[in-house]
Each structure stands twice: as structure tokens, then as C-alpha cells.
Structure 1
């Protein structure tokens, strides 16, 4: 068993469908004969591309009886999964995933994802990219400062807030890695070339020679979509990707493994570990993690400066 097994979901092959689509929809021909675990993963990806825990984007009014599903719903995984897959997948396979989703955050009442209002427009994504070389580190520092400011603003923090701050530190690390990769891939054509060449999700794609210019014109958009959906806390996957893409020595990741497992338990198990015991954290734990993230970013920036030296600007008087 891998030490990353807390998030050890199987990878779908290219023939399963367009893995970079905003709303993944598996190929039914492939799905009908796929192994059970891949059938479940494909249906899971389909579901999470369309539905979410209502806490993320659904108004709540206690006096009105709870969540106000203004975008439609609530939706029960049992209904939508059977409606979509009953002609392709055996019921007992669907049943396994349905039981998993019923035990997850949304239970039997999930909200639809409003793709028209979630900031997925390509131009919006592009406008949010770092514009300057120092932006990824600057934005990381701002996120870490917000965590520290939240700690200092109150004399005592309840446990669930400490959990949120711990998760926010891991999220800050994820965002930094995303921002850094996005900056170099979109600013340096050689880095983009290296990214595509060394990424099996892209390198293995086939197309007709007559479509080469269409593919090239759409390549940056596909890379942007890919970076949006990449699981950045899977540092075991981030490490080889960035080492091959950027030509750097990726900083040590082992020290983050227990922290990411804790974050997983906070987010996906309601603050309990795999044995059902509460995750106990202190403010000192949050600060220690924030320091790890800061040190990690400084080491990564040092590696980037070796590969991409900063050329001083000389004023010409």
C-alpha cells in the first residue's frame, strides 16, 4: 500500500472519454467492458463534474427549512446515476458508488454545479493567471499572511476554525504550484513544449495530420483546462511533472505527506481519521505547516532561478 493511498483513485485511460472536458462524460462503449474499479471511477468523475455539496454554492436559510436550491435540485445520486448509466453498468456496480456518495458531504441531497457562473470561462481563467514572475510567490505570501492574521485576530479559536486554517495552508501550497506552473507554461514556449511532451495525458493523444493546426491553436486552452483540474496536493504526481517540465529539482515532499492526510480527513471525513477518531490540531500545528509551505516555496524559487536566471534591467540613459 502506498503512503498516498488516502487518495489512491485509479487513473482513467484516454479511451474512457475526454478527460479534459469541463463536464466529463465517459464513452459508453468503453465503459460497458471496463473493469469494475474503472467503471466506478468514471461514474464518480461524471457525477462530481455535475454535482456538489450544497454548502459550496447554495443559499441557506434555517427559517425556510435549510438550503434553497436556486439552481435546481436537490439531486439524489441514486436517481441521477441510474438514469445515466442503467443501460451500461450493472446495478450492483452503481450501487457501490451510490452508497459512497450517500456517505459523502452531500448525502442524498446534492446541488448542481452552475457552470455558467463558476468562472470556468477561458478568458476569465486566463485573466487570473500570474502576469509577473514574482506573482506566484507574492500571492502565496498573501495567503499565508491571511492565515496568520486570522490567528492573531482572536484570543481563542474553536477546533473547526483551526481545521479550516490547516486546510487553507495546504490550499495555499496547491495554489502556488498551480500559479507557478501556469506562469511558466504560458510565458515560455519551450516550457509549454516540454509540458506537453512529458505529460502522458497529452503525449499519447492521436490526431490526423490535417488537424495539426486546429490542435496547435487549441493547445493552450487544453493546457489551461488541464491545470484547472489537476490534483495539486498529489505531490507524488506534481514532482515528476514539474521536474520534467521545468528542469528543476523538486523540493522534498515527504514532510507534507502526514499534513495532506490530515487535510484529507478534515475535508472528506468531517474532521475524523480513518479509524473514526477526531483530528486534534493546535494553532502551533497550523503555524508549523505554514512555515513548511513557506520554506518549500523558497526552495522551489531558488531552483527556478537556477534554470531561469533573473536578468537585471539596465536603464539606458
Structure 2
């Protein structure tokens, strides 16, 4: 018997298709690099635009009266910063120090009282139920849409009737009203103060004021500092309100005092160095406030990012 054996050849291996790079990752990396370059370029332009006036002010404050007009704006002259500071602080029996102290009073005391009132009001709008609650809150939000310059004349007439024109109260009392601060306080209260914690405090016998002071207010510390910084900046830069309400130079804030100095520079050019150096000193509290309190408002801005 003959056995026929068939020799079968193994199947030929199929040629693997060589994939050509499509170039998408390269284009994606290039697009990412381009977008980063555009964003960084815009940030550099914004930083340059922001820092250029401050740089000019810092350089100009180091010059004497001759170098201020004889050199370029961003060119250094002889260093006279200390002499300029001494002249500003001692001119007219130290009136600048009086203006600076008035600004501290208006901004710190007024902003602290305004912030406490805003936080308590926003907390009440969030945690309590009462009649016409949302309508009242809508009325508060309507106050945000009204420019402060529009209400200066009515406020002056009210201050005249109350007899507080040309006093410290003329700027401290209007600073207590801050509709935008009430809105921010309600938002912070919704995110920072759980209702369960308040209910537990009430079960333990704590009253409403004690609950707010011991539990609600500490939890709202980031929101408090954020609102305080906004209010502090607005009060420090409140020029028009002081111009309308005050006539006595002993009550001027620093910005209104510098404006009065600047108004006589055409007749007395030596006041230019006083205005420039005084403006540099007036910027310091704002920078110090944001640097020292940035950890609070940064935590407030990131509220709700992590649960």
C-alpha cells in the first residue's frame, strides 16, 4: 500500500502594513506651544501695561526738581528719594501725615464696619426665611447697578440735613452701605457655612447671635477678608465723595490732598515733586494690604474648587 504524503507549505506571512505618521501629535504639540506663547505674550503685555506707571512713579520720586524735567521719564537722575520724602512729610507742619491718617481712618474703620454689616446681612439672607426675602435681595442687587457718582448729590443733601457735612461721619456713614458686599457675603455663606452645623449649635442651646459670632463668622473669615479688601480699596480711592463732602483740609484724605497740591503746580512747579513722592507713599498701603492678606482672598477665590 502506498501512502501519499502531501507536503503543505506554511502559509506565507502577511506583510504588515507600515503606518505612516499622520503628524497629528506634532501638530498638537505645535498648537499647544503656540497657544502658550500667545497667552504668555498677552500676560507680558498686561504686566508691562500695569507696571509701567508704577515704574515711572518710582523713578520720578527719586529725582529732584531739575532732573524731573531735564531727564527722560524712565531715566534715573541724582538720587533724592530720602530728601523728597522728608520734604513731603514736613511740608506745612506735616499736613500730609494728617491726610494719610485720615485715609487710614476712613478705609480701615469704615471698611471693617461695612464688611461686618455685609457679612451679617448676607448670612441672614442665606440662612433665614422671612417674608419677601428674594424681593429684598433683588432690591439690594439693584443697588449694585447704581453708580456712586450719581448718588453723591442726594447723599450730600441728606448729610446737610443731618448736619454731618465737613465731618468724619460724612465719609464713614456712606461707606457702611455696600450692596455688592452683601451679594458676596451671601455667596460665601452658601459655600462655607453648612446648615447642619448651625442646627447642631441651636440644639446645644446657642442663641442666634452666639451661633453667628462663634460659628458662622469664623467660617466666613476668607469671605470677610475678601469683602474687606474690596471695600478698603474703594474707600482708599474714594476721591469724588471726599471732594463733595469735605471743605476743611484737616479732614482731607490723601488722594484729595494730593489733588489740591496738583492744582497749584502751574503756578508753583516745585509742587510736582511733592505730588509724585506723595503718590508713591499713598500706593504703599494698598500693596501692603494685598500682600499681607492674599492668603485669605486667594482661598476665597478658590472656594468650591475642591469638595
TM-score by length of 2: 0.26
Whichever structure has more helix as a proportion of its residues is: 2
Q: Which has the higher contact order (CA 8 A, sep 6+)?
A: 2
Bigger Rg, which one: 2
